[in-house]
Structure 1
């Protein structure tokens, strides 16, 4: 039986659920999907009270009926606000990943298989009644033989096979949408499916989640703002994850927080500050920071802190994106729309032929209405989402890591406003970002990066004279070929041919500056050079300069 025929019953069931909840009415060009047209003839429609619900609420009901894997799909899709209408994305964020637990005896067997030993040999106690159950795994309380309380996360039986089947189905639906949807080139359904597949497969590796938790804990080991439970590596494999057991108050339980005497205003400000610290100081952030994954330490009333849970989805940014993003935030804080447009183009996030004045005008049209309100009423996350939507009209292609960041910002701001409805996100975020970014990009940071690169330069130093000699020899004999596609670089090439002295002098000047930097780096360090070596370094720089000048005057 071919793959298409094997998937047909599942496709028919999905079509039936879509029609039952009247979602076929909101699918673009639904008449192209023949399965939906036939399903309308046989499937009873939902009652009028269901039909009266918003489309996002009906979609949540449909995904819940289709099963836990589709609930997980919906949660991942909620991060794609660049593709989904705001009302649907908002409803999808409310999807609760709570499903019927599987038998505790099966969890016990899975733990014994993963650890290669009987439960009694590795644990003093293991509770077969789960603490929580989700679509991928469920969690059990346990006690180690040394008396430590832990929780054990166990993958659901046969979950990998089920996910592979559903991904295969989703890929088939993506190919169908790619053929018939009028905006398939912009939505890129197969890329969305690939993103969902990658996220789910990562969540199936609990050892990877343990590594995420371990790194986040190390980043905040001395912090008074965030606590991350310790991973018990001796009881962790790809199929089970054992963590220190922690206790706290869910961040959305405001009554319990107030009863415990927690300062919610201080807590809200810490939440916003933690976001920028994770993103721009550590470049490693919790990308699933909804209320269910954040608790509050009830034992610290005067100086409250968060407790992080569930480390399956974490985000990082390439160094370049981190730079462009930080500069974009700072420009947004200063209402410098021209700078925002310039940064989007220089980052390569959109085509180089986009007119900067048009992009600046579009950004101003989005931002100015917000800045007429008091800053405490402005949603930074909402502004960022609107900016991404505007940029999409100019063919902006968002990378998955930027989408995760956008979703995390929405979650963090939502938690902040839940705790403190009148929090001034801008006033709280700006000084933190400015302080962190100064440390990351200031003179001291540059000097530290320079120190790290010096050993690489020293390793390459013996080959430099021969490389310089070979380069200058090609210049002398007219054998050097320079192939440049950019018009700007072609103009630079023509200018350098008209002014060879300037080019050589700049090269020599850069050599001298490099030598001066090396002298500064090693002066005062533990690895001091001998005076003769320093003199030799300076002499080498002068020799390169003289050599370049000699070739220049020929």
Structure 2
């Protein structure tokens, strides 16, 4: 059975060339193809003008084009004989010029090479072979014009590696370690050995030296420093402040690298998916680079492409850090300053997470659910079908920085929602955007869009409850209760050495400082940051997830202050906490919840009674507990406590019964009312008994 080409009459073949060595090979291939069908061969060369044709330089270009035509005609006759023809065209668009020439000559087959004609070099501006194949009305053949000796090619000669085929990582640890040691020595660093210097100015100088060394060691070490800057529980405050100033000076990826990674992940030529990609990156980071692009459907997107060597570079430096931790990380002198094992674990987890773009896509989709109740907040949509672990394709947010948002009700509403959403993200959902600096917040369609979900934070259930209590204590200006909540958060077990009174006094000073500030200076985020610093000074550092949440809250506080300087963060926090508590109370009094909780209480009560019976020997075979009470006061206390416990349990049972019967559709109305009155009277009796005994 004949193929498509053999089943049709081919009389004219055209081939494009720019007279490069690779393009000449395409002409030779086309000549052989035309000879097979005894067809005419037209070789077309496009000269891109640099000057207007009416100028002196433009006329010179036309003269050179005529000379090029003669040269091309001579070459074509050499490879195709009398059937060969040459055509030189002056045009600013080579792809469309070749397509128009093919139509004018009514060719049956158009041949282009995948190498040469500046095709792949200018791929981001519009790949010529691809554009020809999409625009021509005749059959188009793109031939591989690389040498058979193994020359690197583009176009159809593409390499696709599955995840299982990625070469194994073999770090050159010795050479890298030597370089790191040399840089550290150059900057006079001794691996934090003098970080406990009491002079703050000296510690600051050492921190600056460390920052300079990390910047010189390259983008990976800069990234390590940036990650560490979010952990004041692991490093001294002077180091945290300096590391937060680190800048990753990363050269942009080459176009060929962008092509390589994109096509390895897409497993098809990039031009089959994208209509165009902007050659200028929006951002070039340590791990990835971001470009604007347009899909074949015309939709505008942004493409995040991972650097080809990102994983290898990170694994190499993490391997070195692990060796360092194993060798010297447990030395007491070093551990007094920095927990190296915790540092390594945190860095490894954070960086490996950022290397997998699928996790970032999951974060974006999860945040969509978290922000569903806020009509002024949004996140970009993700093209899951085009995204992989090293390639992320998202909706382009075509907006402006939030500080440039136009004045009006939408801006005011967005400011309040942005701040309130962070209370919800941290306290309710336990999942928050951990890097909400102004560059990651854009204003578009009267909404604030969150960008870059490479760094998110998680807060556990118990910690969320403690943080809720902390915010309520701040709201009520209760320094004593705030101190207790802080100890609950940190599980402080060094109370024998901790100066609790001094700690509480400093917490109170921080609260007073911010609560008496002007409206524009009322910032809960910075307040929590100062509280964290106080905790660190007293040896009770807050949990790592909370310190990250505090930093994020401080950043978002600054953003909302720019959007609406009159916004009172305490008012936002207070009203949100009241709504949250009311919602929780409503859930607690739901009949289903009451029934569930009553059954849990019943089971736990029975188990407690059984445990007491076993303990006092009331059950056969169990141990006997005999206690002779000789103190009348102690007997009174036991008797009074038993009476109060009976009153409390009976009152609670009556209130529960009132709730159950009220929810029933078959119970008379007087029943829940009666239970409610009984419960109220018993509660009143309990209160009176308590007041009489104090």
What TM-score do the two structures reach when normalised by structure 1? 0.72
C-alpha contact 2:189 2:210 (8 A) present in aligned 1: yes
Alignment of 1:143-542 (within 5 A): 143-180=294-331, 182=333, 184-185=335-336, 187-221=338-372, 223-251=374-402, 257=404, 266=412, 271-297=418-444, 300=446, 305-351=447-493, 353=495, 354=498, 356-368=500-512, 374=518, 376-377=520-521, 380-416=524-560, 423=565, 428-442=568-582, 444-449=583-588, 451=590, 453=593, 476-477=618-619, 510-520=652-662, 522-523=663-664
Q: Cα offset for 1:137? A: 1.5
Query: How far apart are the structure 1 equivalents of 2:474 and 2:602?
Result: 47
C-alpha contact 2:522 2:570 (8 A) present in aligned 1: no
C-alpha contact 2:207 2:239 (8 A) present in aligned 1: yes
Query: How far apart are the structure 1 equivalents of 2:529 and 2:313?
Result: 34
Q: Cα offset for 1:136? A: 1.2
Range with greater deviation from structure 2 (232-241 or 219-228):
219-228
Correspondent of 2:177 among 11, 14, 18 = 11
Alignment of 1:114-133 (within 5 A): 114-127=265-278, 130-133=281-284
C-alpha contact 1:295 1:306 (8 A) present in aligned 2: yes
Query: How far apart are the structure 1 equivalents of 2:335 and 2:455?
Result: 27
Q: Cα offset for 1:314? A: 1.2
C-alpha contact 1:496 1:503 (8 A) present in aligned 2: no
Distance change in 2, residues 1:496/1:8 (3 Å): farther
Specify every segment of 5 or more residues in structure 2 that has no aligned partner in the other structure, as ranges.
1-170, 197-201, 626-633, 676-694
Query: How far apart are the structure 2 equivalents of 1:312 and 1:480?
Result: 59
C-alpha contact 2:419 2:557 (8 A) present in aligned 1: yes
Query: How far apart are the structure 2 equivalents of 1:287 and 1:144?
Result: 30
1:67 aligned to 2:232? no
* Structure showing greater relative contact order (alpha-carbon pairs closer than 8 Å, 6 or more residues apart): 1
> Which residue is equivalent to 1:37?
none
Q: Cα offset for 1:88? A: 3.8
What TM-score do the two structures reach when normalised by structure 2? 0.59
C-alpha contact 1:203 1:312 (8 A) present in aligned 2: yes
Alignment of 1:135-146 (within 5 A): 135-146=286-297
C-alpha contact 2:192 2:337 (8 A) present in aligned 1: no
Q: Cα offset for 1:68? A: 1.6
Query: How far apart are the structure 2 equivalents of 1:212 and 1:175?
Result: 33
Specify every segment of 5 or more residues in structure 1 that has no aligned partner in the other structure, as ranges.
32-50, 484-491, 540-554
> Which residue is equivalent to 1:134?
285
Distance change in 2, residues 1:200/1:182 (3 Å): same
> Which residue is equivalent to 1:28?
193
3-state SS in 2 of match to 1:276: helix
C-alpha contact 2:475 2:574 (8 A) present in aligned 1: no
Distance change in 2, residues 1:458/1:89 (3 Å): closer
Distance change in 2, residues 1:472/1:413 (3 Å): closer
3-state SS in 1 of match to 2:281: coil
C-alpha contact 1:273 1:428 (8 A) present in aligned 2: no
Distance change in 2, residues 1:21/1:306 (3 Å): farther
Distance change in 2, residues 1:399/1:506 (3 Å): same
> Which residue is equivalent to 2:684?
none
Over residues 501-523 of structure 1, what are the superposed CA-to-partner deviations in whole Å (9 max), with x where a residue is unaligned?
Answer: 76677556555544444445x44
3-state SS in 1 of match to 2:540: coil
Distance change in 2, residues 1:316/1:495 (3 Å): farther
3-state SS in 1 of match to 2:333: coil
Q: Cα offset for 1:233? A: 1.6
Q: Cα offset for 1:459? A: 9.0
Range with greater deviation from structure 2 (472-481 or 106-115):
472-481
C-alpha contact 2:490 2:543 (8 A) present in aligned 1: no
Query: How far apart are the structure 2 equivalents of 1:60 and 1:167?
Result: 18
Distance change in 2, residues 1:124/1:428 (3 Å): same
Query: How far apart are the structure 1 equivalents of 2:601 and 2:398?
Result: 56
Query: How far apart are the structure 2 equivalents of 1:138 and 1:16?
Result: 30
Distance change in 2, residues 1:314/1:515 (3 Å): farther
Distance change in 2, residues 1:468/1:12 (3 Å): closer
Distance change in 2, residues 1:463/1:265 (3 Å): closer
Q: Cα offset for 1:73? A: 0.9
| Bigger share in helix | 1
Query: How far apart are the structure 2 equivalents of 1:509 and 1:371?
Result: 40
C-alpha contact 1:17 1:62 (8 A) present in aligned 2: yes
3-state SS in 2 of match to 1:187: coil
Query: How far apart are the structure 2 equivalents of 1:98 and 1:144?
Result: 30
Distance change in 2, residues 1:448/1:29 (3 Å): same
> Which residue is equivalent to 1:42?
none
**Number of residue pairs aligned between Structure 1 and Structure 2:** 482
C-alpha contact 1:217 1:228 (8 A) present in aligned 2: yes
Range with greater deviation from structure 2 (187-196 or 10-19):
10-19
Query: How far apart are the structure 2 equivalents of 1:269 and 1:462?
Result: 44
Query: How far apart are the structure 2 equivalents of 1:128 and 1:481?
Result: 82
Over residues 499-545 of structure 1, what are the superposed CA-to-partner deviations in whole Å (9 max), with x where a residue is unaligned?
Answer: 6676677556555544444445x44xxxx6x559xx9xx99xxxxxx
Over residues 466-500 of structure 1, what are the superposed CA-to-partner deviations in whole Å (9 max), with x where a residue is unaligned?
Answer: 979977985741667899xxxxxxxx9x9879966
Query: How far apart are the structure 1 equivalents of 2:225 and 2:428?
Result: 31
Over residues 171-191 of structure 1, what are the superposed CA-to-partner deviations in whole Å (9 max), with x where a residue is unaligned?
Answer: 233345534462514631210
